[in-house]
Amino acid sequence: MTNCLNSPDHKAEPKPASLDRRNLLKTGAALAATTLLAPDALARDFGRGAEPQRYPDPDIVVIDDKRFKAKVGNTVIKRLYTGCLWAEGPAWNTVGQYLVWSDIPNNRQLRYIDETGYISERFRYPSNESNGNTFDFEGRQITAERTRLVRFEHNGNLTVLAEQAGGKQLNGPNDMVVHPNDKSIWFTDPGYGAINLYEGQRTNTGSVQPYQKEAIYRVDATSGQVTKVADDPFKPNGIAFSHDYKKVFVCDTGITHYPNAKNIVWQYDLNGDKLSNPRMLADMTLDGKSGFPDGLRVDTEGNIWVGAGWVGDGYDGVHIFAPDGARIGQIRLPETCANVCFGGKKRNRLFMTASQSLYAVYVETQGAHNC
């Protein structure tokens, strides 16, 4: 049973991290052998009774002081909630001033209300083991459920946006973004919800591609047609537009099941309803250690904020990259970070869903998009 928080200062003790995430037993041993950090990089205590953190927060790391201007000297990383099994898909609702996120194994969505700090632990329950979330430009929530992409209408109805592509069942949608001009919805389909019981169901095929090749899709806002736009990443995960909508960035977490995959963020050129020129934006390797890039968002300066982890203390958290792919900053967390989004009244607060917990920190920049 989890704790319902009535104030943002309430903190519960973290539970032990689960090792079932995304079939890591297949690759965890090999990864651990090459990614363990030095024992003196100790995780910070966010638990109840912990002493206040002295300014400036040492876990907001400036790597390139000429390009990383977002660190605020008199703010700290705060843990707003703990008690999830795998926290994912944070999305900010500007009208309601609240954050929604998913807890996939617990089959629920939670909501953090900014005004009071209150957290509703069953905002949507059951959630069809939902993963990523966003809000479109009409304020409607879009969610990647285990088997389909859906939208919650203002009148309470649910619209199914995508269940199939190319005449085949989707593997399992993960993350999505909405384009402001044509209102098209772009989403990824890596299939994690269809290949393990912990976050969904295991199909009878026994394949890491339950129904078809993992891919990136576009939903036309007028016709509803679902079109595959790219399938270069082994398992396309987090997705984001660049701040000027000229590029699309996609995280690749294919190393969970494909030995030849790399822990990288891809970038594409965006031309209307087409993607072209696939190439690497960022390599997640840091000091010889490499973790998964899971979810990402972009700020108004064009910097890319990537939730990452599965390495350990000193690496897990958020990695910030300049538009040219150079790592310029880092936010270290004591848990693997799955995804991020900008929110708050000024859109200058970074929310981070990390394993069992929800974290937040104020930064001296703003999110480039609506959530």
- Tokens describing residue 366: 């703003």
| pTM as predicted | 0.89
289-334 pLDDT tens trace: 999 999 999 999 999 999 999 999 999 999 999 999 999 999 999 9
Residue 7 in this model has a pLDDT that exceeds 80: no
pLDDT at 42: 57
Residues, the chain: 371
pLDDT at 49: 84
Q: d(Cα 194, Cα 313) in Å, to the nearest integer? A: 30
In the Cβ-directed half-sphere of 205, how many Cα atoms lie within 13 Å?
A: 12
Contact in structure between 371 and 135 (CB atoms under 8 Å): yes
pLDDT at 48: 82
CA dist list (Å): 243 to 240, 248, 250, 302, 344: 9, 10, 14, 5, 19
User: What is the average pLDDT across 257-261?
Assistant: 96
The domain at 21-362 falls in which architecture?
A: 6 Propeller (2.120)
142-201 pLDDT tens trace: 999 999 999 999 999 999 999 999 999 999 999 999 999 999 999 999 999 999 999 998
Question: Angle CA(51)–CA(56)–CA(59) in degrees, nearest 5?
Answer: 75
Q: Within 10 Å of residue 208's Cβ, how many Cβ atoms?
A: 20
pLDDT at 276: 98
Q: With bands split at pLDDT 50, 70 and 90, how would you rate the model's confidence at 358? A: very high
pLDDT at 371: 64
Residue matched to tokens 């300049």: 322
User: What is the average pLDDT across 6-27?
Assistant: 40
Q: Domain map of the chain by residue range?
A: 21-362
Pick from 215, 293, 307: which is nearest to 253 by CA? 293
Residue 243 in this model has a pLDDT that exceeds 90: yes
- Tokens describing residue 371: 């959530």
Residue type at 39 in one-letter notation: P
Q: Within 10 Å of residue 74's Cβ, how many Cβ atoms?
A: 8
Q: With bands split at pLDDT 50, 70 and 90, how would you rate the model's confidence at 44? A: confident
